[in-house]
Amino acid sequence: MTFNRRMFLGTSAVMAASLAAPMVRAQGKPRVIVIGGGAGGATAARYIAKDSKGEVDVTLIEPTRTYYTCFFSNLYLGDVKDIDDLGHSYGGLAAGGVNVVHDWAVGVDRDAKTVTLASGGSLAYDKLILSPGIDFVDGAVEGWDLTSQNAMPHAYKGGSQTELLKAQLKAMPEGGTFAMVAPPNPYRCPPGPYERVSMVAHYLKANNPTAKIIVADPKPKFSKMALFQEGWNNHYAGMIDWIGEDFGGGEVSVDPGAMTVTIDGEVTKVDVCNVIPAMKAGHIAEIAGVTDGNWAPVNAADMSSKADPDIHVLGDASQQGDMPKSGFSANSQAKVCANAVRGALTGSKVFPAKFSNTCWSLIDTNDGVKVGATYEATDEKIAKVDGFISQTGETADVRKATYEESEGWYAGITADMFGASV
Amino acid sequence: MRAFQYLMPFALVGLMALPSHADTGDAELGEKVFQQCKGCHQVGASAKNRIGPHLNGLFGRKAAGLEGFKYSKSFQRAGAGGLEWHADTLDVFLENPRAMTSGTRMSYRGLKDAQDRAHLIVYLRQFSDNPANIPEADPTAQAVDHDLDPAILALVGDPEYGEYLSGECTTCHQAAGGDDGIPSITLWPEDQFVVAMHAYKNKQRNHPVMQMIAGRLGDEEIAALAAYFKDLEN
Ligand SMILES: Cc1cc2nc3c(=O)[nH]c(=O)nc-3n(C[C@H](O)[C@H](O)[C@H](O)COP(=O)(O)OP(=O)(O)OC[C@H]3O[C@@H](n4cnc5c(N)ncnc54)[C@H](O)[C@@H]3O)c2cc1C
């Protein structure tokens, strides 16, 4: 049964390819290209390679040789984790049968079904999976663009930006001011900016206790707000000034040369300014023509693009419904997608979509909180089924157990993305 | 307040299970049942920690709550997660210790007879504070049947389906094992897996993430997962 179906699919794919492009396929194996080796892409590549047991050719295109997770990067800012704790190589994926190409994808030809690389080569696919993460919306914060990211880092992509922000935090003068411009919805990791505020406060409390933090926020409220505010009062009383939308937090401009932030007309000289602008899908999604506005709409059942059934979009770049943009979500979506893609290419069984997410945040040493939910695919979107959130006033024991659990999760998800380290 | 805490699980579980067996016990008969426990546990005036912790003041004690006793990680986690010893939780625990705390060092397979458990609980109740006859005190009896339907245990899971579903587990539980902050579930005996997942589903076992995940798994799906993890090789 499986055999026949596979044969049929295999032949028709070969026929289609030979009509569309004069390309000879190695052993006639179906080809999957994954663009972006992060939470979504690495997981999808690994699962398709692992589960198809060599029946599918999987190529992962990712420019960096070491992936630095954004998750736990705030803990690095807070001196709770080391930068080396956050880096992961692609060796485990390569050992698991994934062809890892360190390059940028710069073009997608949907008719010819090829991807062009920055180095000039081109690769053919039967199914293309995009998980390029985020880019920033041009002109989102007045006075800031990518050329200012050294003076005013976003630190919202992993690695060098995170290290830069940490260096600036360390170099802050005694009693100095750390400013954050928080992003509007929707953006990657809803609790991320507020965990960052907590970890920066944690660092400053130990090293520069008279320093201040101001947050200009275009939103009236934010993820786990009650939990964060309780924590800020308990641990960092008087240090953090959060200016929400109601108090002009959305009326912001910055001057990276003068190191000033203007909030609702009031100019403040600051020592560090972390600008997290409004976000959109990683640019390659737009190049591929699968975006509508800032994001790429997908079908909930298999994460396939609404614009092209042979392209799937995962993680932050996708517009899927109720799931927050998180590493956990991207990983969860990747497994649903991998199952569907493998099924389409080899005739393996396709099981119904099931998604879940949990986001842990650390407020202070051993003071962890979490929020999570399960989701299902409906015709319209990924819809929330059930959820939970940590409570205010929990005991120190519960909070410590929650933090320890987050460490277990970090070890778990990175092993799930990259395979066992080699 | 105490009353509220232990009534909660009653209300939740009560909806799903019918009270089926006697809900009162006899302390004297319980003392006889306790003979099985004596090898490791002491209770009464001169009781001390031995292989297992002493059981004085057990009611209302947090799991892993005794200073000076070295508990398993599993127990420490359960305690941190809010597990407290009362008649209802003890009953679930005694029936199958590993359903509630998978990694417990208590090498006891469980007391299957509900009436015997009721006797034992009444016996142990005498060595805790709070007179048993005032309403706020811990009751000695419980009226919930926690037995898992044998038909559920007998289900034969489809490991291929389990492999797919396991994606939801391996985001946190490392497929290769590993036990920091989150316990390993790889190579877990099938029946223990099934019992534990149903205990989360029925909210007898405490953990919001696991209650949520298990809450929407059907019997077949739990069986499939158990079938997959029981011989997962790396
Ligand atoms: C401060 C912070 C804290 C966070 N904390 C958490 C947390 O605790 N838990 C959680 O679940 N999530 C957290 N997140 C969110 C999480 O990092 C993202 O949601 C997740 O990484 C999204 O996965 P992705 O696959 O969509 O994108 P990414 O993981 O960003 O991967 C995208 C990859 O694509 C590559 N790429 C982009 N364009 C191209 C191209 N043209 N060609 C080739 N490759 C390309 C990039 O190099 C990158 O490696 C946090 C984020 C931040 C910023």
How do residues B157-189 score in pLDDT, each as one tens digit? 999 999 999 999 999 998 887 777 788 888 888
Residues B161 and B222 in one domain: yes
How do residues A225-238 score in pLDDT, each as one tens digit? 999 999 999 999 99
Residues B95 and B154 in one domain: no
- The CA distance from A320 to A297, in Å, is 6
From the CB of A77, is ligand 1 less than 6 Å away?
A: no
- Selected for mutation to probe chain B from A384, A394, A403, A404 (highest B CB count within 10 Å) is A404
How do residues A178-189 score in pLDDT, each as one tens digit? 999 999 999 999
* Confidence at residue A421, expressed as pLDDT on a 0 to 100 scale: 59
Closest partner CB to B176 (pick from A349, A405, A415): A415
Assess A375–B contact: CB distance below 8 Å, yes or no.
no
Q: Which residues of A touch B173 (CB under 8 A)?
A: 412
* Confidence at residue A9, expressed as pLDDT on a 0 to 100 scale: 36
On the question of pLDDT at B4 being above 90, the answer is no
For residue B234, the chain A residue with the least C-alpha distance is A420
On the question of pLDDT at B143 being above 60, the answer is no
Residues B10 and B57 in one domain: yes
Reported as a pLDDT band with limits 50, 70 and 90, residue A207 is: very high
Listed range (A231-240, A369-378, B9-18) with the worst mean pLDDT = B9-18
How do residues A273-325 score in pLDDT, each as one tens digit? 999 999 999 999 999 999 999 999 999 999 999 999 999 999 999 999 999 99
Residues B15 and B89 in one domain: yes
* Partner A, chain B 147-166, Cβ-Cβ below 8 Å: 160-161, 163-165
| B125 vs A218, higher pLDDT | A218
Choosing from B101, B133, B165, the residue where a domain stops is B133
- Indicate whether B187 belongs to any domain: yes
Q: Which residues of A touch B82 (CB under 8 A)?
A: 398
ipTM associated with this complex? 0.79
How do residues A142-152 score in pLDDT, each as one tens digit? 999 999 999 99
Structural domains of chain A ordered from first start: 5-135+279-418 (3.50.50.60), 143-275 (3.50.50.60)
Tell me whether residues A351 and B82 touch, CB distance under 8 A: no
Is it true that the peptide bond before A186 is cis, omega within 30 degrees of 0?
yes
Would you state the structure tokens that stand for residue A187, as one six-digit string?
A: 């953006």
The closest residue, in CA terms, to atom 22 on ligand 1 is A327
- Indicate whether B176 belongs to any domain: yes
Domains identified in chain B, total number: 2
On the question of pLDDT at A139 being above 50, the answer is yes
Assess A50–B contact: CB distance below 8 Å, yes or no.
no
- The CA distance from A22 to A16, in Å, is 10
Q: What is the mean pLDDT of residues B86-105?
A: 85
On the question of pLDDT at A16 being above 50, the answer is no
Q: Are B199 and B205 in contact (CB under 8 A)?
A: yes
Q: Are A362 and A80 in contact (CB under 8 A)?
A: yes
Residues B36 and B122 in one domain: yes
Residues B110 and B190 in one domain: no
Q: Are A17 and A25 in contact (CB under 8 A)?
A: yes
- Indicate whether B16 belongs to any domain: yes
Tell me whether residues A51 and B163 touch, CB distance under 8 A: yes
Assess A388–B contact: CB distance below 8 Å, yes or no.
yes
- On the 0-12 / 13-18 / 19+ scale of CB atoms within 10 A, A372 is buried
* Confidence at residue B137, expressed as pLDDT on a 0 to 100 scale: 44
- Selected for mutation to probe chain B from A357, A405, A407 (highest B CB count within 10 Å) is A405
* Confidence at residue B186, expressed as pLDDT on a 0 to 100 scale: 84
How do residues A55-66 score in pLDDT, each as one tens digit? 999 999 999 999
From the CB of A284, is ligand 1 less than 6 Å away?
A: yes
The secondary structure of B159-186 as a DSSP string is HHHHHHHTHHHHTTS-TT---SSS---T
Listed range (A98-112, A371-385, B206-220) with the worst mean pLDDT = B206-220
Listed range (A337-351, B30-44, B96-110) with the worst mean pLDDT = B96-110
* Confidence at residue A406, expressed as pLDDT on a 0 to 100 scale: 96
Q: What is the mean pLDDT of residues A192-203?
A: 98
Ligand 1 probe mutation, A316, A361, A370, A405, most atoms within 8 A of CB: A316
Residues B50 and B93 in one domain: yes
How do residues A17-75 score in pLDDT, each as one tens digit? 333 333 444 558 999 999 999 999 999 999 999 999 999 999 999 999 999 999 999 99
Residues B104 and B9 in one domain: yes
Reported as a pLDDT band with limits 50, 70 and 90, residue B45 is: confident
* Confidence at residue B145, expressed as pLDDT on a 0 to 100 scale: 38
Tell me whether residues B82 and A358 touch, CB distance under 8 A: no
Average pLDDT, chain B: 79
**Residue A70 Cα, ligand 1 centroid: separation in angstroms?**
7
For residue A391, the chain B residue with the least C-alpha distance is B208
Residues B212 and B155 in one domain: yes
- Indicate whether B144 belongs to any domain: no
Would you state the structure tokens that stand for residue A253, as one six-digit string?
A: 């401009």
For residue B165, the chain A residue with the least C-alpha distance is A354
Assess A396–B contact: CB distance below 8 Å, yes or no.
no
Tell me whether residues A358 and B209 touch, CB distance under 8 A: yes
* Confidence at residue B23, expressed as pLDDT on a 0 to 100 scale: 53
- Spatial strand order of the sheet with A382-389 comes to A355-364, A367-377, A382-389
Residues B23 and B116 in one domain: yes
How do residues A390-415 score in pLDDT, each as one tens digit? 999 999 989 999 999 999 999 999 99
Query: How far away is chain B from the Cα of A397, in angstroms, using its nearest Cα?
Result: 5
- The CA distance from A154 to A346, in Å, is 42
From the CB of A315, is ligand 1 less than 6 Å away?
A: yes
Which of A328, A363, A388, A409 shows the shortest CA–CA distance to B181?
A409
* Confidence at residue B15, expressed as pLDDT on a 0 to 100 scale: 33
| A6 vs B41, higher pLDDT | B41
- Indicate whether B114 belongs to any domain: yes
On the question of pLDDT at B3 being above 90, the answer is no
- The CA distance from A212 to A87, in Å, is 30
Residues B121 and B37 in one domain: yes
* Confidence at residue B176, expressed as pLDDT on a 0 to 100 scale: 82
Q: What is the CATH number of the domain that holds B182?
A: 1.10.760.10
Tell me whether residues B174 and A412 touch, CB distance under 8 A: yes
- Indicate whether B154 belongs to any domain: yes
On the question of pLDDT at B10 being above 70, the answer is no
- On the 0-12 / 13-18 / 19+ scale of CB atoms within 10 A, A76 is buried
Distance of CA B175 to the CA centre of its chain: 24
* Confidence at residue A160, expressed as pLDDT on a 0 to 100 scale: 96
Range of the domain at B6: 2-133
On the question of pLDDT at B27 being above 90, the answer is no
- Indicate whether B141 belongs to any domain: no
On the question of pLDDT at A350 being above 50, the answer is yes
The closest residue, in CA terms, to atom 4 on ligand 1 is A71
Assess B175–A contact: CB distance below 8 Å, yes or no.
yes
How do residues A89-132 score in pLDDT, each as one tens digit? 999 999 999 999 999 999 999 999 999 999 999 999 999 999 99
- Selected for mutation to probe chain A from B5, B163, B164 (highest A CB count within 10 Å) is B164
Contacts of A6 (CB under 8 A, 6+ apart): A55, A346, A347
Ligand 1 probe mutation, A66, A71, A81, A414, most atoms within 8 A of CB: A71
Q: What is the mean pLDDT of residues B51-80?
A: 88
Tell me whether residues B208 and A400 touch, CB distance under 8 A: no
- Indicate whether B221 belongs to any domain: yes
Residues B118 and B33 in one domain: yes
Q: What is the CA radius of gyration of chain B?
A: 18
